[in-house]
Amino acid sequence: MSVNMPELLIEFFSEEIPARMQARAADDLKRLVTEKLAANGLTFASAEAHSTPRRLALVIDGLPERTADVREEKKGPRVGSPEQAVAGFLKSAGLTSLDQCEQRDTGKGVFYFAVAEKKGRATAEVLAEIIPAVMGDFPWPKSMRWGTGTVRWVRPLHSIIALFGGAVLEGSFDLGGAQGKLVFGNSTRGHRFLSPDAFTVTDFADYKAKLRDAHVVLDRAERKAKIKADAEALAATEGLTLSPDDGLLEEVAGLVEWPVALVGTIDEKFMDVPSEVLITSMRTHQKYFALLDKAGKMAPRFVVVANTVTADGGKAIVAGNERVLRARLSDAKFFWDQDRKTKLEDRVSKLGAITFHAKLGTVAEKVTRVQVLAAEIARAIGADADAATRAALLSKADLVTEVVGEFPEVQGIMGRYYALGEGENPAVAEAIAEHYKPLGPSDSCPTAPVSVSVALADKLDTLVGFFAIDEKPTGSKDPYALRRAALGIIRLILENGLRLNLTQLFKAAHGAYTVSGFAAADGVATDLMAFFADRLKVTLRDQGVRHDLVDAVFALGGEDDLVRLLARVKALQTFVGSEEGANLLAAYKRASNIVRIEEKKDGKAYDQPVDPALLTLTEEKDLYGALSGAGETARPLLAKEDFTGTMAALARLRGPVDAFFDKVTVNAEQADLRANRLRLLSQIRATLNAVADFSRIEG
């Protein structure tokens, strides 16, 4: 740290901040402070924010000692302007006389200019104003008042470090009421139990080092890395591996300042409960990490991360956590045992008590619709329609089980366990587990035909229903996860290479509804295809496919076979990426522009057939022949879905098109020649547009 470029250190020390809020709060602190620095003309070299359960910290390096001097100019009226205009200008500039103004010739006349020189301020003064302002603006998702104070913060505040260049800033934060002010200082506290005494710091390096001595690992990434490494090491000593769980790792890093990993034991009597239930119970309620054996199955061990060091090496902590876990898992085992006493099929009728949506009926009614649609899809893709119908019937039955009531995260998964226990077809059981999939871009996509049929049917029913009652996603709001459902359908179709007519499926799903107040099937199908076009662009963008090419193919209309559409788009991308394709695209745009301009000028279209008798020049005859040949070659190739071959046929147009534009005057003096040549240009457009709407392609 140079003498001339001091460092700013801020710490807000409080009671425990909820784990889920910490990382965002650190980002918000950095953003708010740096925005206010910029607004005051202060630059800096670097900014770094940190969070632990009891503190938010920010260090900014490379700040100047003072803000820069500023010269502000304000242009006024022309010299000789009416007195009223001059008076208004003087008032707005905070001046009393024209003697305080400069006169300048701008090249457009002589004008008055008000010039104000603002001296820079000490950065320390600016910072003392910025910090309370940031605290007042802080966007906590939830906040509270405490004591007699009127200020809101996430949890009660105890102290504020505000150091600039090693010196404490003169300032405070008013808590309101009788709470008084928290005066900026240079002291904080370490770990609540291991190092509770206060200590002072001089700069960030000193702060970070003394926190570590006081049993606080300030850096969140370092805490996460330590938790993971220590848990993996403990697992290895047991001959096990740590079950990956990034979400839990993120949460636990927000619960401890001095992480100490310990391993505990799960009673064998609980190990017959499905591992998903055990893991969900442990991670949800106790924040424990699961361990796996060499076969990848859950082992009767867990890792708990304590926030303290004990004289007995953590034995009492482990014993206490094992005792709490036994109580938790006893409940889970009881629910599991009770649930298996009632068959899934006998639970289906209870779904009538669960509302899917007020305008769309119950979950039981949804199940009935999905059965019909799943069977239709199964027949279309060569799957077992009876198995798909059965899986659809039982797909939601586990929603009324005790285990899913306690752990909603395992819906579908529990249905599979119950179905297998009842002797159902394994394909049916898998479809029950997988019909919600894929839940997101990182989730696996079903490949088993019965699973695919039910997963598609469930999502199609949801999309059609909500679009028919005009509950479509708007902007960033998508309360019914319809974008996710559409992306799921796209993945199911493309990753399994399914040749399905989406419009027909939309209409079939629409026809299965018996509720009132529905939009017409055709309108819903049209809206959904437009929605799918947007979602498809998102999916293909991640694969490096240009969005304008998707638009160009969709613009043809009538294309709702996503596999065929993707093949056409990819062939088009290769084509326009080639030299022939790029040049032909440029020629297309030139031809289209000429035709459009002339059609507008003449007030008529030139889309009639070309008259071969009026072709006088070799170049126009060659182009006409090439267009006719390309069309004849492309048609059967398009019919066979040989889009690469189709593009190759079109590429042969480049030479004749280039020659035409080089040698032929389109706007000939003879009216009939001109009209015929415009029709020829129109035929370029029509020939290329048989493959895609080239007007939608950028470049």
Question: How confident is residue 4, by pLDDT bands cut at 50, 70 and 90?
Answer: low
Which pair of tokens denotes residue 275? Answer: 């591992």
| Alpha-carbon span 604 to 602, nearest angstrom | 6
> What distance, in Å, lies between the first and last C-alpha atoms of the chain?
50
Residue 51: closest CA among 86, 95, 80, 13: 13
Question: How confident is residue 89, by pLDDT bands cut at 50, 70 and 90?
Answer: very high
Mean of pLDDT over the chain: 93
Provide mean pLDDT across the span 382-391. Answer: 98
Torsion of CA 665, 670, 676, 677, to 10 degrees: 10
Question: Is residue 288 within 8 Å of residue 298, measured between CB atoms?
Answer: no
517 phi and psi angles, rounded to 5 deg:
75, 25
Paired with 52 in beta bridges are 55
Query: Domain 345-493+503-535 class?
Result: mainly alpha
Give the CA distances from residue 311 to residues 232, 258, 315, in Å, rounded to whole numbers and listed in that order.
23, 15, 9
pLDDT over 70 (residue 1)? no
pLDDT digits (tens, 9 = 90+) for 25-43: 999 999 999 999 999 989 9
| Alpha-carbon span 359 to 85, nearest angstrom | 63
pLDDT over 50 (residue 2)? no
pLDDT over 70 (residue 67)? yes
| Alpha-carbon span 59 to 128, nearest angstrom | 15
Centroid of chain to Cα 497: 26
pLDDT at 99: 87
Q: Give start-end residues of each CATH 1.10.3210 domain in the chain.
A: 345-493+503-535
pLDDT at 293: 95
| Alpha-carbon span 163 to 144, nearest angstrom | 27
Which pair of tokens denotes residue 455? Answer: 């997963």
Question: How confident is residue 417, by pLDDT bands cut at 50, 70 and 90?
Answer: very high
Half-sphere exposure of 26 (CA within 13 A, CB side): 24
Provide mean pLDDT across the span 253-269. Answer: 97
Query: What's domain 573-696's architecture?
Result: Orthogonal Bundle (1.10)
**SS in 3 state form for 44-61?**
CCEEEEEEECCEEEEEEE
pLDDT at 466: 96
| Alpha-carbon span 309 to 315, nearest angstrom | 11
Q: Give start-end residues of each CATH 1.10.730.10 domain in the chain.
A: 573-696
Question: How confident is residue 685, by pLDDT bands cut at 50, 70 and 90?
Answer: confident
Query: What's domain 8-65+122-213's architecture?
Result: 2-Layer Sandwich (3.30)
Angle at 293 between CA 291 and CA 295, to 5 degrees: 135
| Alpha-carbon span 422 to 402, nearest angstrom | 17
Question: How confident is residue 5, by pLDDT bands cut at 50, 70 and 90?
Answer: confident
**Beta strands 8-14 and 55-61, pairing class:** antiparallel
Residue 304: closest CA among 250, 253, 240, 231: 231
Which pair of tokens denotes residue 151? Answer: 């200020």
Which pair of tokens denotes residue 225? Answer: 């890395």
pLDDT over 90 (residue 73)? no
pLDDT above 70 coverage of the chain, percent:
99
Residue 150: closest CA among 172, 181, 128: 181
| Alpha-carbon span 179 to 148, nearest angstrom | 6
71: helix, coil or strand?
strand
Question: Is residue 687 within 8 Å of residue 630, measured between CB atoms?
Answer: yes
Q: Give start-end residues of each CATH 3.30.70 domain in the chain.
A: 8-65+122-213
Provide mean pLDDT across the span 415-443. Answer: 96
pLDDT over 90 (residue 148)? no
pLDDT digits (tens, 9 = 90+) for 574-602: 988 888 888 888 888 988 999 999 989 99
pLDDT at 254: 96
Paired with 567 in beta bridges are none
61 phi and psi angles, rounded to 5 deg:
-110, 150
- Around Cβ 672, how many Cβ atoms within 10 Å? 11
| Locus of tokens 């919600």 | 436
Provide mean pLDDT across the span 453-466. Answer: 97
Question: Is residue 9 within 8 Å of residue 201, measured between CB atoms?
Answer: yes
pLDDT digits (tens, 9 = 90+) for 534-555: 898 888 888 888 888 888 888 8
The answer to whether the bond into 132 is cis (omega within 30° of 0) is: no
pLDDT at 558: 78
Question: Is residue 556 within 8 Å of residue 692, measured between CB atoms?
Answer: yes
pLDDT at 53: 97
Half-sphere exposure of 385 (CA within 13 A, CB side): 9
What letter would DSSP give residue 187?
E
Residue 372: closest CA among 397, 356, 357, 389: 389
pLDDT digits (tens, 9 = 90+) for 649-674: 888 888 998 999 899 898 888 999 99
DSSP 225-263: HHHHHHHHHHHHHTT-EEPP-HHHHHHHHTT-SS-EEEE
> At 163, which helix (H) or strand (E)?
strand 157-164
Question: Is residue 44 within 8 Å of residue 30, measured between CB atoms?
Answer: no
| Locus of tokens 């082992």 | 299
> At 490, which helix (H) or strand (E)?
helix 482-495
Residue 208: closest CA among 11, 4, 3: 11
| Alpha-carbon span 352 to 368, nearest angstrom | 11
Paired with 110 in beta bridges are 105
221: helix, coil or strand?
helix
**Beta strands 172-174 and 167-168, pairing class:** unpaired
Which pair of tokens denotes residue 536? Answer: 């498809």
Question: Is residue 192 within 8 Å of residue 179, measured between CB atoms?
Answer: no
Angle at 321 between CA 320 and CA 323, to 5 degrees: 65
